[in-house]
Amino acid sequence: MLNRVILIGRLTRDPELRYTPSGTAVTQFTLACDRPFTNQQGQREADFINIVTWRQLAETCANYLRKGRLTAVEGRIQVRNYDNNEGKKVYVTEVVADNVRFLESMGGNRNDGDGYNQNQSSSGYNRSDSNRGGSSNDDPFSDDGRPIDISDDDLPF
């Protein structure tokens, strides 16, 4: 009934832009978020959190984000599952972002401080079908490690 996530971290790699069969842009990246405490060895660990963005926001992220960039992400946690090639259910957790803020400039050449990068959906017609038994081509990130095709069924709002 309410599902809100706000993260600040750094990209572990350049973002990946892809398109669904129907032509919708999807960009995926991973944020490294340092934990607020150190472990038993006195070292600070990080959580590596998968982010997905759609449509215009996906294009903007692909254009402006790069590995290492400090970035703020607002969105919701999404948990999906599919049956892997051994017929076992694999669960995938990711943050579907609807607002991304570029906290570092792009190598001196431009300003990114102005202009919000928000999802502009004309809400209401939404659809998102996950959990379709047997179908395995339904997601950006796989906890399994395999690259997987994305489908129009994953379109959020």
Partner DNA sequence: TTTT
* Contact string (CB under 7 A) for DNA, positions 16-55, x = contact: --------------x-x-x-----------x-x-x-----
Find, among 52, 61, 67, the residue nearest to 101 by Cα: 61
Contacts of 138 (CB under 8 A, 6+ apart): 80, 82, 130, 132, 148, 150, 151, 153, 154
Task: Please select the residue that binds a second copy; options are 2, 23, 108, 133, rule is CB under 8 A.
Answer: 2
* 93 binds a second copy per the rule CB under 8 A: yes
Q: Does 110 bind DNA (CB under 7 A)?
A: no
Binds a second copy (CB under 8 A): choice among 13, 21, 34, 137: 34
Residue 72 near which of DNA, a second copy, none (CB within 5-8 Å, type-dependent)? a second copy
Order across the sheet with 16-19: list the strands.
Answer: 16-19, 25-38, 44-54, 89-102, 70-83
Extract the tokens encoding 16: 């990946």
Q: Does 141 bind DNA (CB under 7 A)?
A: yes
Closest C-alpha to 30, from 15, 8, 45: 15
- Provide the binding-site residues for DNA, judged by CB under 7 A: 9-13, 30, 32, 34, 46, 48, 50, 67-68, 79, 81, 89, 91, 113-114, 141, 145
